Amino acid sequence: MIDALVAYKVGISVISVIGDYILVRSMFSIIRLSIRIIFSLLSILFLTAIVSLIYFLSIHPPKVRRRTSHYFFKHPTEMMGILEA
Q: Across residues 4-19, what is the average pLDDT?
A: 84
Please, which pLDDT band fits residue 84 given cuts at 50, 70 and 90? low
DSSP string, 33-76: HHHHHHHHHHHHHHHHHHHHHHHHHHHSPPPPPPPS-TTTS--H
The domain locations on the chain are 2-80
pLDDT at 68 over 70: no
> What is the per-residue pLDDT for 36?
96
List pLDDT tens digits, range 16-67: 999 999 999 999 999 999 999 999 999 999 999 999 999 988 887 777 666 5
More confident residue, 6 or 79: 6
